[in-house]
Amino acid sequence: MLSAHAPNGVAQTTGTVTQQIASVEGGVEAAIDAPWRLEPDFAATPVYPRIPIVVSIHDSSLQSTQGPTVALGVFCEMAVREEGAAMSTDYFKADRLSEIERSDKWPISSAPAANHRLCRRWAGETCGAADLDVGPSAEWHGTLLYSPHTQTAGTDVHLTVQVRVARAGDSCGPAAPIVDNAPFDRLGLRQIYENVPPSYVITNRLSVHLGEAALPRFDDGWVYGDLHYHSQGTDNEGESAYAYRPTLQAMRAMGLDFLFATEHASDSEQITDVNLIYLRNIVPDWVPGPIHDWLEAIIDSIPLHEETRSYAARDMNRQRFTALRALLNDPPGVKVINDHTFPTGANAEVMKAPGAGRAARIFLGGEVDVVPEMSAREKASGNILYGNGASYLWRNCLLDTEILDLIHEHTTSLFCPSPDALGELDPATGRYSVHDIQGLGDDSYYARQHMVYLPLDGTRDDAFVSGDTSQFGGAHEHLSDLVDPSYFNTIVDKGYAFLAHPADGDTGTGITRLGPDLIPYSDVQLRTAFESPSILGLQLWNEDTRLRTTDANSPLLPGFPLQSWDSPPDPGPGPPSTANRSKWLWGKWSGLLPGAYTELYHGLAMWDRMLLWGIRPSQTAGLAWLPAGQPRRVFMAGGSDAHGDWNYRRQGRLFGVSAIVDSAIGKPRNLVHVGPERPETVTDSAQSAYGSVSQSQVTAALASGNFAVTDGPALHIALDANANGVIDEGDVTMGGVSQLPSKGTYVPFVVEWKSTDEFGPLAGIDLYVGATSDTLDTGLMYAPENNGVYGSSLLSAVSPNAYVDAAGGTHRELRDGYMLDPTGGLHISLSAAEATAGRRVVHLRANDFVVGRRRVEQEEPVCTLNSYCNKPGFEDLCEEVCTTPPPAIYHFDNVSLPDRVFVRAFARTVRKAGALCEQSGDQLTTQGGTAQISGQCIERLAFTNPVWMDNTAAPPPPGDFSLACTPTSLRLPAGGRGTGSCAVKSTGGFSKAVTLSCVNLPAGASCSFSPLSVTPAPDGTANSALILSTGMAASGSYTIRAKGVSGNLLNPSHDTPIALTIDPVGPPPGGTGGPMAVFDAKLKAPVCASAGASCDTGTSLVFSRAAGGGEPNAPNTIGGVCADGATAPTSGRWNAVDRIRISGQAGTRFAAGQTVLVETGVWASSTPSTDAVDFFYAADATRPSWQWIATVVPSVAGGQVLPVKYRLPSGALQAVRVQYRGQGTSDSCATGVSNDRDDLVFAVGGGVTP
């Protein structure tokens, strides 16, 4: 018996398990879950939102009559223990839950589910007995919003959560303590208290990461979403998930903006019970021999029979789609279908419950099963070719020989018929459909592939597309039919689709082999997808399974994720053992080259092959829907394929848990550019409005291709059409096609990235270039060495043999078949300063990536018999002698310049645990093992979609311009201003806009032009006035340059020098000047400790804003309080206070009662009228009480000097504060993401010691 401590201080005992029902076919499925991360809001209190915790119990009313049943009654309570020093447990009865939702089964017929009820505790509704009774339900979901005690960024909140359900007919009794050894994947009957009836318990461990920052985005136009997620409409023999409403709360908490609930569109009957009738070896041994043999012979002639019972619909059918669509998208209320009511408005009510401020959205889609097809060659060879040289053995039967022998021993099944019977010819296409052996030997069913279907419109009930799966889950629909506009079950004009996990080939193991195989997409099917505009591309990053368990059935496994208390202390170096290091068996580190990369690696190769097809006119000529001269764009997408799975994924649900992997909702996710508008509006309980994305907005953005796929950093790429070094409206972004004539020219591409401490800094960025030649009708992929998901492995190393062209030029190949980057510019190495966020311009010339045919010339060895072979009696010395052929010759034939190219980018982060990731075996330490099982060795990856570029036309002669300014030299005082004029003169017919600017300005100085941009007439001249302000710049001689840039990447830029002399500021009239301030580590601000006639920070002491902007000793405020806003501008200088100077007007040392002048040099934003500069003083700098002096609004953008005056109070050590703010009030410490404030401390009267 295990002792425990019950609530209310009552000592109790817990009993052993008397009954456990795993969530298998014919049983009850149960899960407790919470999101794997929380999104911070540092402007809110508390910073982190409540943690949504869901308990889902499925199929209580659908249990098999052949085995033991779980007699469930009413929900009792949820117990939550937040692991830590206190190890406190909180208990939540039904009235503490946020929502309860339950439903009866979905019947096989077209009738809807009965008794679908929703109790919204957040709205003050009272949940009745029928809501709390789990037993009669087919699905029951309860949601708790838990406030974590921990609020420290970057930490993991470890929760142990227990849910207790009374046995049918029993009462709950007192709340139960957490049973640490209770099953985490099933309901176990526990005797919690003596003299109290036992109740059912499930306990789970969850780990919720408190994100160090929000998910990285480039601006508010980017949203995150999961394109492959299973939720309330997925419910079959071995899979189920959670309701939409709690999932929306999880998305809010995590920072996800949208997901597509791609429910299995099976549209068939769910097998709720299977009974195998064995026909052999059933004649009793006492039957006389001849009669025994006669009966066996008769029985052997009877075909095998499987008795199956179907009590419910499998997954989503048309009627269920209608109900689920209304549940999500209709206004709050009820929808009536065949006299049954359904609660609606899940998306509309997402903000009603307490939580984060992100209005998440769920869009209803579908996962449609597709019949696999192969070519005649693949039929003959037995191999379906896919990926980068991979093959799938479609003829394989049962792989587990023990299962096969068992079936043959006890049945009359001919389980493995002739393999040729599994390929069915379609005479119209010449393709073969792939059948699969399912059940116990039935080869009449098709195997399957998957397609994720994304409807355009969330209001259409007729948008449902059926998978029409067979009895055991095999496919029925052909891809060619699904994309045929005339087919009754088409996706055309209803939505878009991606081929899901196209490189996944799963034949199962053991008894799970009796279900349908999942087969990789062959090239003939990729062709079908390529020819349809409704297929956007490949959802090739599926799941994120780089951290996984080993043997999940071991009794030593403590749960997932592991905590430090799960096993005794590490005994030191030595091999792990189940006796003292059981934790290493659970969170197994899959290694630096995890097998999970295999599917991703081959999927990327399939994508690149389709991308090359898309820029070959021979492949696109037959696509009537494609505009002439345009590439057929194919996009990459990602999806978690999670079935619920907020925290981690349990695999092998049909026959119990076989493994656990670190894959969950939003892993991976898509970063999609939808723009700043939010077409949908929802309100919270206080009727405050929140904007959200719409379904049509997201699908349109996906169809544009302007999105990336990531499980960590944000990454995007664009062709910099306006040559300004940033990605903006004038550029060709991801998914875009540039028709700009650029053959033979260098074209700038901008790559931008952003990460956070949660995911780590980037290790580097790889660019990939695909190039094709119309003449050769072929293409090549170029990449840097050690590229891609496998990094420095041999797969992407340089092959030792170089291909040589007719001119003697060499062309190197990588071992993966890609060509080595000939320019050295396709890998971007990052410094430590820019590894977390940055932008890089890479100039690429398409002509550098030539196309040719690779050919290997290898002579065969010449073999002859030696002379002994002709001599009788010497036969034992006779042998064949072969010559050694010369080395192979590698030819690169028919070198051609490319006609079309595309460019895509890939990034990976560094491993956060560093060298600890290299430990294994006997060298594995506790520190290393903990780092590995907690995911600190997983590299986070990001992939962009491509940018396409035409290379068939050379640019016309662009003409040119010259730039000259007068005067060519200026002499100005500090704080002074001078004027001049600059002339742009056209040559060669040039007539384009030229934008003017100044470069090499000293810090604190600024310049402006009026007008900023001029367009000269052909061979004419256009003028602009120059205004130069020295501001707070230091005295000295400088050479600045006026620069003109044309608005087209094919045109040049020019600059011209201007000599600038800044005279030093003299001492105040009649005085002797004063000291320069120095940073004081005690006060944490600039200080002039000796009294003088002035005090000055100079040009570098407080320059710019925050550490990110380069300000030394930021924030340069007394005591280090009032941190600067750390949000960087989209381009250019950080708006900030750059310099502070105070001087006495009488020319004498500072003294009380004296009027002084405070001058500040600021750099104003591009919208200065919306900004403000506040001035404050404090009589005692050691204990400042800030008094407002004045507020000044900057007059122009850029650098300028702003003066104010005030009278010195009494005090030996005083201070002034200058605050630049883009928002907030004139409070001395106004908050704002772009605000800056700096202090200057100075002595008055005699010198003092700070």
CB 787 within 8 A of CB 795: no
- In contact, 710 and 943? CB cutoff 8 Å: yes
Q: Is residue 917 part of a domain?
A: yes
Q: Could you tell me where the beta strands, DSSP code E, fall in 387-532?
A: 390-393, 423-426, 431-438, 442-446, 449-455, 495-500
The answer to the question of residue 705 being in a domain is no
Do 1222 and 1165 share a structural domain?
A: yes
Number of domains present in the structure of the chain: 6
In a domain, 414, yes or no: yes
Secondary structure string (H, E, C) spanning 634-702: CEEEEECCEECCCCCEEECCEEECCEEECCCCCCCEEEEECCCCCCEEEECCCCCEEEECCHHHHHHHH
Cβ-Cβ contacts under 8 Å for 418 (sequence gap 6 or more): none
Alpha carbons 821 and 811: distance in angstroms, whole number:
9
Distance of CA 1146 to the CA centre of its chain: 63
Q: What is the 3-state secondary structure (H, E, C) of 775-790?
A: CCCEEEEEECCCCCCC
In this prediction the pTM is: 0.76
Indicate whether 779 and 652 sit together in one domain: no
Domain shared by 140 and 171, yes or no? yes
Instruction: State the DSSP code for 264.
Output: B
Q: What angle do CA 277, 281, 285 make, to 5 degrees?
A: 135
1152 and 1217 in a single domain? The answer is yes
Asked, as a colleague might, if the bond just before 1016 is cis with ω within 30 of 0, I would say no
- Both 1108 and 1185 in one domain: the answer is yes
Residue 934 belongs to some domain of the structure: yes
Residue 1249 lies in a domain: no
Q: How far apart are the first and last CA of the chain?
A: 68
Provide the pLDDT for residue 790.
84
Q: What pLDDT is attached to residue 569? A: 38
- Residue 1069 maps to a domain: no
Q: Which two tokens stand for residue 521?
A: 């997409």
Q: Which residues pair with 764 in a beta bridge?
A: 908
Separation CA 223–CA 670 (nearest Å): 8
Coil, strand or helix: which one is 411? coil
**Nearest residue to 641 (alpha-carbon basis) of 655, 630, 651, 631:** 651
Residues 188 and 280 in one domain: no
Q: Is residue 868 part of a domain?
A: no
The three-state (H, E, C) secondary structure of 991-1023, written as one string:
CCCEEEEEECCCCCCEEEEECCEECCCCCCEEE
Final residue in a domain of this structure, among 364, 390, 408: 364
Q: What is the 3-class SS of 871-920, one letter each residue? A: CCCCHHHCCEEECCCCCCEEEEEEEECCCEEEEEEEEEECCCCHHHHHCC
Q: Are 850 and 771 spatial neighbours (Cβ–Cβ below 8 Å)?
A: yes
Distances (CA, A) of 1178 to 521, 768, 1075: 73, 59, 20
Whether 215 and 98 share a structural domain: yes
Instruction: State the alpha helices, DSSP H only, in 90-243.
Output: 129-132
Tell me, yes or no, whether 111 and 155 share the same domain. Answer: yes
What's the token pair of residue 989?
């017919």
At 518 the pLDDT is 87
Asked whether residue 531 is assigned to any structural domain, the reply reads: no
Using DSSP's 3-state secondary structure scheme, residue 1248 falls into coil
Q: Looking at the structure, do residues 437 and 321 belong to the same domain, yes or no?
A: no
Q: Under a CB-based contact definition with an 8 Å cutoff, are residues 711 and 726 in contact? A: no
CATH number at residue 1180: 2.60.40.10
Of 344, 364, 384, the residue that ends a domain is 364
Helix, strand, coil percent values for the chain (each to nearest 5): 15, 40, 50
Amino acid in the structure at residue 209? H
Task: List, in order, residues 6 or more apart from 770 with CB less than 8 Å away.
Answer: 608, 611, 612, 615, 779, 780, 781, 782, 901, 902, 903, 946
Q: What is the spatial distance between Cα 994 and Cα 610, in angstroms, rounded to a whole number?
A: 41
Q: State which residues form the domain around 305.
A: 275-309
Predicted pLDDT at 415? 59
Mean pLDDT by 10 residues, the chain (1250 residues): 24 27 57 95 91 93 68 94 79 95 85 90 94 94 95 90 93 86 68 80 89 96 97 83 96 98 88 45 51 52 46 84 94 89 93 91 97 94 92 74 59 62 88 82 83 96 93 90 97 97 76 72 97 98 78 36 40 39 42 73 97 97 94 98 88 58 92 96 94 97 98 97 92 95 91 96 97 97 93 77 94 94 96 95 96 93 87 86 89 96 97 83 70 81 97 81 92 81 90 89 87 91 91 85 77 84 60 74 93 85 83 93 84 83 78 91 85 95 94 85 92 95 84 90 70
Pairing of strands 1213-1221, 89-93: unpaired
**Residues 1055 and 1097 both lie in one domain:** no
Cα 16 versus chain centre, distance: 43
Q: Residue 829 is encoded by which pair of tokens?
A: 């190495």
> 1120, 1127, 1086, 1008: which is closest to 1250 by C-alpha?
1086
Integer-rounded Cα radius of gyration of the chain: 36
Do 343 and 424 sit in the same domain of this protein? no
DSSP state of 422: G
- Whether residues 992 and 1004 share a domain: the answer is yes
